[in-house]
Structure 1
Amino acid sequence: MTTRPRSPSPDPPGPLPIRRLQECVINRIAAGEIIHRPASALKELIENSLDAGATSLRITIKDGGMKLLQIQDNGCGIRKDDLPILAERFTTSKLSAFSDLSRLTTYGFRGEALASISYVAHLTVITKTKSDTHAWKATYADGALVPSKPGTTADPKACAGNEGTTISVENLFYNTPTRLAALRSSSEEYARILDVVSKYAVHNPHVSFTCKKVGSPAPDISTPSSSTVKQAIRLLYGQTIAKDLLHTKISSTTRGSPAHDSAGSDVEEEAGSWMAEAHFTSAHYQAKKMVLLLFINHRLVESSRMKRALEAVYTGILPKGALPFIYLSLQIDPRSVDVNVHPTKREVHFLNEEAIIERISDAVQTALVGQNQSRAFEYQASKTLLTDGITELRKDKGKGKERTTDDAGDASSVNASENAIRSSLPSLPVVKKTLSHHKVRTSMQDRTLDSMFPVLNSAQQTDKASSSGTAVDMTHSQSTSRPVKEIRESVCYLTSVRQLRQAVIKGKHHRLSEILEKHTFVGIVDMHQCLSLIQHATKLYLVNHGALAEELFYQLGLRQFGNLSRIKLDPPPSLRTLVTIAINAEQGVERSRLSKPEIINCIVETLMEKREMLNEYFSLSICANGNVQSLPLLLKDFTPNLDKLPLFLMRLGPQVNWTSEKDCFDNIFRELAYFYVPEPLLPGSNALTTTEDDAEGKAVKWQIQHVLFPAMARYFVAPKSLLDRDVVQVANLPDLYRVFERC
């Protein structure tokens, strides 16, 4: 057999020469980092006007800002001598030395806004200072002065004008067609402009803002120069938001609860003084999209960590999918803030960010809880006043009398008095009568399944329970378990973890999640088969709390990735000993090609090799001598069955794909969730043995009822797969009434 000779491979190409980019190319590349769209150009111009001390800003837009973007202010103006270098890069009146960055209190400081605009648009400036007798007009292109008309000089020209500055940006992105084609429609770009203007108008209520389209008779935004933040929010975002606004202030010197004193002192000592002011909606307001106006040292910025923390505050207050409106102004010592981390100044970094965010979140949560409590108290007091007043009137007017002509007059006076009481409380809602088939008769003291067993054993107790029972509306029943401590999502930039978290959200079954969120725990049916009963509205469900718990603990592990609490083991057991126990108890090991000692060595060596990663990301601490010092704590007040610890450590060896980051994290959290699942202590025993009645069994049942199910109600994102066999509807009250009616 002959083979075809290979053709000689071509020589690899040589290195390309390095060239110095032309100045115009450099400047256009830099302009693309600052000016993304008309709204970003307007943001830079608004900040320049505010730095100039303007109290009035008039903004005019044409074709979404792509044809014309004009802003007129009454600030201090620009000196004529500074106009030649106004649009050059890195020309600024805010800085003279690098050390000035640590004392910066202005919006702009790099001198790139007007330069960037001049490279991608036609820029015209008309300005007049207080000392000038007339205004000056200058036209710029590519950072330099250019003639406004052919045949004239490029020098600034005298013209009529008011004190302040008027900047006109025409034909934005005329020389970058790709950027121009990437923009949205003019209406969408104009909506972005209105959003930017609205946010700065709320933060600067002492400044008058006006924004309109060219040719429009009335402005789309118009705010006075002497208003408050709340008035600006009412004017720009509507009365619906304004009427439900709460307000709070907090600073580095504010002392909250004792639990936060230590955090507050750290911030005060290390980061200097800071102060925050927040206007946020109460539990009455619900929107589909969160609106967050965040200003740090008067800069409009974004902070994903702050946003997630504030969203977490509202998680237990608003229904699923409902989001708030929040305006937050944070002022920090300039020495603690680094503003030079983003070309558009959209992001800033500051010291002790986590501690400050936690203090602000706690203050917002305290205000929300206080508002909710006061609202409930006033409603109950008014309702009691209404019923007591009518009752007293009836007693006084109709006591011991037979109905006569005079009694009819008394009855009319009673009705008039009742109407007077009702009219004095017009805000009370009309309570609709609940039909019988939407109620269930139960005990006022306890409604769990366990409380019903003693009743079944005594006829006397049955009669007593029946006489003291009351009809309770099932559609409004709530869980009485202790509140779950806030479990905040850790900040993680690993793509693998973010993909796993996104997969959990994507697989959510909304109806099942709602059932578990608003359920009422009824009782444990069978500990050994992990079966429990829960109620939602008028329906009763049989659930496999083991399967639900496994998925819940997996999600809690992902939620706290890299920030898990620890369960310390004292004394710390030997890793090798625990793995040996599990291998000896495992069936089928004999069929492996490796002997038991070889399997044990392989697992122990793998875990010892990965112990630094396990400690950092999962709080699973294994010291150098091979002792297990701590385990991850996924849920406070819930202790896993440590009898399963040998099995958990043994499975980490063969069940985890250590070669893929995403698979590795997913496998470890799955094994950790399996370790946490509440299972019977004696799997082979009968369901009616004393296991459920001893101290250990009662402790497990207490954890399931008072810790596990409340955590499900707050944090569980239920997947659709649970509907196949782990959640089954067993009863529906209206259907039961139909059965009784036939009988």
Structure 2
Amino acid sequence: MSQEKEQDPSQTPKPIRRLEESLINRIAAGEIIHRPASALKELIENSLDARSTSIRITVKDGGMKLLQIQDNGCGIRKDDLPILAERFTTSKLSTFDDLSRITTYGFRGEALASMSHVAHLSVITKTKQETIAWKAAYIDGILVDPRTRQRSDVKACAGNDGTTIIIEDLFYNTPTRLQALRNTSEEYSRILDVITKYAIHNPKVSFSCKKSTSASPDIATPASMTVPQAIRLLYGHSIATQLLQDNVSSETQKEDEDEEAVDDDLPTNAGTWSTELHFTNPNYQAKKMVFLLFINHRLVESQRMKRSLEAVYHAILPKGSFPFVYVSLEVDPRCVDVNVHPTKREVHFLNEEEITERIADAMQQKLAVQGQSRTFEYQTLLTSNVAGPSILRKRSRKEEEDGNGERQSGSEGAGMSSETAQEQKKTYSYHKVRTSQKDRTLDSMFPVRNPTQVQDEPAPGKGKGKAPAEGAPTTTKSREVKESECLLTSVKSLRQNVIKGKHRQLTEILQKHTFVGIVDTHKCLSLIQYSTNLYLVNHSSLAEELFYQLGLRQFGDFRRLKLEPAPPLKNLLEIAVEAEDSTKDSNLSKAQIVEKIANVLLTHREMLAEYFSLDISESGHIQSLPLLLRDYIPSLDFLPMLLMRLGPQVDWTSEMECFDTFLRELAYFYSLGAMFSQSSESEMSKEEGLHDKADRWQIQHALFPAMRHYLLPPKSLLDQDVVQVASLHDLYKVFERC
């Protein structure tokens, strides 16, 4: 046995080998060239480094078949062509110290080399000193003959001053990358986006881009414009008419007497910096933020700066609307580290937070000085395409009041017989029950300053549709939630368990109750009336059981609550894990916990989409959530916590346990919307007040009517969630003694 174990190849460590040069270069090329747009970005930067004033781009099949860029720059010397496509060949650096003073776009010499490893690369170039042009073709960084693919020298040809670079059959030798980029229209739009951004930042350079099959260009800019003119030409008249402009620098900030002590925060070793800003005023709105950031003329991304500048507009624009912002920041090159990303998409520079804060303050002051404002409708969701509550339908008085005014439920109330007029010889006062919903509710008993406003205002946070006046009869009729047809034995068993576990008397109370009002928002307590009794109920606990039963009722046939834009799964998990204290005791790091939960959800994404309408894209974005009740929108603030709990709290090993635990977690997520913040009414801001009012509306007009129709409460709710606090008959006994 020991000999067999020693000879087992699975127990023998594999040897470490040196990778082949071609494989190394191809791996490196994949880091630089992600798609045609990233290749074009490198080529445009090379043309701008060559001091070009005209750049012409031709594209075929989204850049997959052909990507050609022609400029009128200084060109490339003939002697440099043999090593042009080799890695780390550059004219920008000679020593490491040069990296700290770099002012050009490219410096590593990997762009053309990477393209030669994943495409067929050809170059035609001519300097002003030479009388003819030179043509060279490259494969895997080696100068070859384009027809024979054998090593060759450069060849003379006719050409204009400047350089023309031709990339053909991009990713021909990496089929996986090629299959992932099959949408040529999307790739072409990305190419146009890159050209548009560089054209705005370089208004003195003429840009044009067209498809190889088209006679007219899709983008064409002249060579003598300003930045506002370029924005008008490329982004349209609507943005240009709403643009504001400002210039911020380290010097102007120090001279600004209105700044209190912010100027002393920037260390003296940060060097000088200046910023040119173009941003829209409050009269402009867009569904997506357009953010152009150039640092030392390099197009980069900075999520921190983007969020900070976007926050300037939070109090100005309505939710779901975003501005246009163009930032050109020039910093001392010694304070910038450009070598932090293979494609130079990101840079790091000193005192990033302080500079970002000053830019945001300058924008805020400019917007405040302008003094423009608009009136908007508030909505409770960040996403724009989620359907709100339907228009309230009026019910006839016959539907509202049946017999003694108590609503009868089809299945449970059919067997209940009411006392007829002949049997009841005399109705005493303590037998009279107020059940008409025309009577005032608890909220209407508190005085309001302007009752007409209360009657006319729309449902808080709901956009279109009006809420009934406080104290007016409730006219909301919850839409019918049909029971889905399901052949799964596990789901049938769970539905049967709900029916078996219902408490008959509590079911009758909830089916025939009259809503009185919300008593305590912090403790989730509400008052309902049934017959001559008054009950104090925990509406959050009732809601959790309701949503669990609604989930079982609609299993496999949920409506979808679409999220636009779709948030990334891992980002939401990071938020939840960071806020969860129990993760500190885990043996895994927070990043490992996030990765583990994300893998579990992505592994079961097809099952979640089919049975629960929880759609997760292959890239890990949450596209939709199950909508359990038409007029009830859950609070998306708790979405990170839901996703985090789905990992450890759901039993993924057993079918019935999996469905049961998943629906319990989903119901808990929905019930959290029935809870309120701990802040008092006096401390509540205007926006928080609107959210509080919207939640109250949902509880009264969506949650309790749904309980009346669909909730089969178990006996466990009687322990502490439903308590009788008053009886009319007992109260009359007390009054008779007085």
TM-score (norm 2): 0.55
The aligned length equals 480
In structure 2, relative to structure 1, the CA distance for the partners of 1:190 and 1:285 (3 Å cut) is same
Which of 95, 98, 104 is matched with 1:97 structurally? 95
Any residues of structure 2 matched to 1:222-371 within 5 Å, and which? 222-255=220-253, 261-267=260-266, 269-371=268-370
The C-alpha deviation readout for 1:188-239, integer Å capped at 9, x for no partner, is 1111111110110011101000101113111000001100111111111111
Name 1:441's counterpart in structure 2.
none
Determine helix, strand or coil for the equivalent of 2:251.
Answer: coil
Whether the 8 Å contact between 2:126 and 2:163 is mirrored in structure 1 is yes
Which of 210, 213, 223 is matched with 1:212 structurally? 210
In structure 2, relative to structure 1, the CA distance for the partners of 1:179 and 1:512 (3 Å cut) is farther
1:284 and 1:727 mapped to 2: Cα distance?
41
In structure 2, relative to structure 1, the CA distance for the partners of 1:723 and 1:248 (3 Å cut) is farther
In structure 2, relative to structure 1, the CA distance for the partners of 1:6 and 1:97 (3 Å cut) is closer
Name 2:126's counterpart in structure 1.
128
Name 1:53's counterpart in structure 2.
51
Displacement of 1:126: 0.8
Name 1:183's counterpart in structure 2.
181
1:157 and 1:312 mapped to 2: Cα distance?
57
Displacement of 1:328: 1.3
Displacement of 1:42: 0.5
1:270 and 1:660 mapped to 2: Cα distance?
49
Indicate the larger mover: 112-121 or 326-335. 326-335
Displacement of 1:141: 1.0
Amino acid at match of 1:74: N
In structure 2, relative to structure 1, the CA distance for the partners of 1:145 and 1:332 (3 Å cut) is same
Whether the 8 Å contact between 1:260 and 1:359 is mirrored in structure 2 is no
Whether the 8 Å contact between 2:86 and 2:113 is mirrored in structure 1 is yes
2:130 matches 1:106: no
1:454 and 1:118 mapped to 2: Cα distance?
78
In structure 2, relative to structure 1, the CA distance for the partners of 1:175 and 1:717 (3 Å cut) is farther
The C-alpha deviation readout for 1:128-163, integer Å capped at 9, x for no partner, is 111111111111111111113439871111111111
2:297 and 2:455 mapped to 1: Cα distance?
50
Amino acid at match of 1:283: P
Q: CA RMSD in A?
A: 5.2
Indicate the larger mover: 305-314 or 109-118. 305-314
TM-score (norm 1): 0.55
In structure 2, relative to structure 1, the CA distance for the partners of 1:157 and 1:242 (3 Å cut) is same
In structure 2, relative to structure 1, the CA distance for the partners of 1:454 and 1:369 (3 Å cut) is same
Whether the 8 Å contact between 1:252 and 1:268 is mirrored in structure 2 is no
The C-alpha deviation readout for 1:423-475, integer Å capped at 9, x for no partner, is xxxxxxxxxxxxxxxxxxxxxxxxxx99x9999xxxxxxxxx9xxx9987987
Name 1:704's counterpart in structure 2.
681
In structure 2, relative to structure 1, the CA distance for the partners of 1:473 and 1:678 (3 Å cut) is closer
Name 1:689's counterpart in structure 2.
none
In structure 2, relative to structure 1, the CA distance for the partners of 1:210 and 1:514 (3 Å cut) is same
2:583 and 2:185 mapped to 1: Cα distance?
58
1:369 and 1:250 mapped to 2: Cα distance?
16
In structure 2, relative to structure 1, the CA distance for the partners of 1:280 and 1:155 (3 Å cut) is same
Displacement of 1:559: 8.5
Displacement of 1:177: 1.4
Gaps of at least 5 residues in structure 1 are 378-448, 456-464, 478-510, 533-543, 548-557, 564-602, 614-658, 680-699, 729-743
Amino acid at match of 2:116: S
1:319 and 1:91 mapped to 2: Cα distance?
51
The C-alpha deviation readout for 1:260-314, integer Å capped at 9, x for no partner, is 5433332252422111222122222211122111111111111111121122222
Name 1:569's counterpart in structure 2.
none
Whether the 8 Å contact between 2:55 and 2:70 is mirrored in structure 1 is yes
The C-alpha deviation readout for 1:684-732, integer Å capped at 9, x for no partner, is xxxxxxxxxxxxxxxx8xx52354444455999979986788899xxxx
Amino acid at match of 2:302: S
2:48 and 2:174 mapped to 1: Cα distance?
29
Displacement of 1:515: 6.8
2:577 and 2:274 mapped to 1: Cα distance?
31
2:127 matches 1:150: no
Indicate the larger mover: 49-58 or 718-727. 718-727
Displacement of 1:40: 0.6
Amino acid at match of 2:37: A
Name 1:426's counterpart in structure 2.
none
1:26 and 1:38 mapped to 2: Cα distance?
21
In structure 2, relative to structure 1, the CA distance for the partners of 1:274 and 1:183 (3 Å cut) is same
1:726 and 1:295 mapped to 2: Cα distance?
50
Name 1:731's counterpart in structure 2.
none
Name 1:567's counterpart in structure 2.
none
In structure 2, relative to structure 1, the CA distance for the partners of 1:175 and 1:526 (3 Å cut) is closer
Indicate the larger mover: 202-211 or 274-283. 274-283
Q: Which has the higher helix share?
A: 1
2:222 and 2:269 mapped to 1: Cα distance?
40
Name 1:23's counterpart in structure 2.
21
Gaps of at least 5 residues in structure 2 are 376-441, 471-516, 525-536, 541-573, 590-644, 650-664, 706-738
2:584 and 2:117 mapped to 1: Cα distance?
58
Identity of aligned residues (%): 57
Name 1:63's counterpart in structure 2.
61
In structure 2, relative to structure 1, the CA distance for the partners of 1:145 and 1:454 (3 Å cut) is closer
Whether the 8 Å contact between 1:264 and 1:355 is mirrored in structure 2 is no
In structure 2, relative to structure 1, the CA distance for the partners of 1:530 and 1:200 (3 Å cut) is same
